[in-house]
Every structure is written in structure tokens, then in C-alpha cells.
Amino acid sequence: MKETTAQEVEQKVNELTILDVREESETAAGMIPGALNIPLGQILTSLDKLDQNKEYTVVCRSGNRSSLACEWLNSKGFKVTNMNGGMMAWTGETV
């Protein structure tokens, strides 16, 4: 599985398609600008909201759920990269 750091994502944030798999209650505290939120439990039933021609950088709170989401999405043919450390490692802007 491809992985990246929060610092690398911050440097390229405007070039990336970010998928936040946290619950809505968690995203209320702040999300990376432009991120798409689909909670982990809804990923496999929301594949129609994702584009297989795009590469997604997947984010959660600490990196565990996003790693699982990456495994699932990769098995369905999606191009994904896990952001290690999740939002706990994010120091950039949030909305």
C-alpha cells in the first residue's frame, strides 16, 4: 500500500484528492480544505461517489481507519495512498 506523510500532503494539498473517512462528529472539529467525507462504515456502499480515474489520499484521525479504507478501495481497483498519522499529524489549515 502506498503511504505518505501529513507534511507531504500539506505541501501538495491543492494537487490531491483527499478522502476523509472519519465520522461526521469527528470532521466537525476540522477537515483538510476540499476533502470529501465518507465515513469508513459507508465506504463500500458509496463507491459510486468515487472516480476510479482519480487517485485518493485517504485520511482519518490516526491513520488506522484510512489504512483499512485503502485496503478495501485498492481491492476494488481504486488508486489510493494512506496518510500516516492522520489528522493527529496534520498541522495545516482546516475548515
Q: What is the CATH number of domain 2-89?
A: 3.40.250.10
- Domain boundary assignment for the chain: 2-89
Task: Give the active site residues.
Answer: 60
**pLDDT-based confidence at 20, cuts 50/70/90?**
very high
Mean pLDDT of the chain: 97
Provide, rounded to the nearest whole percent, the portion of the chain with pLDDT above 90.
Answer: 99
DSSP 8-52: HHHHTGGG-EEEE-S-HHHHTT---TT-EE--GGGGGG-GGGS-T
Report CA 56 to chain centroid distance, whole Å.
Answer: 7
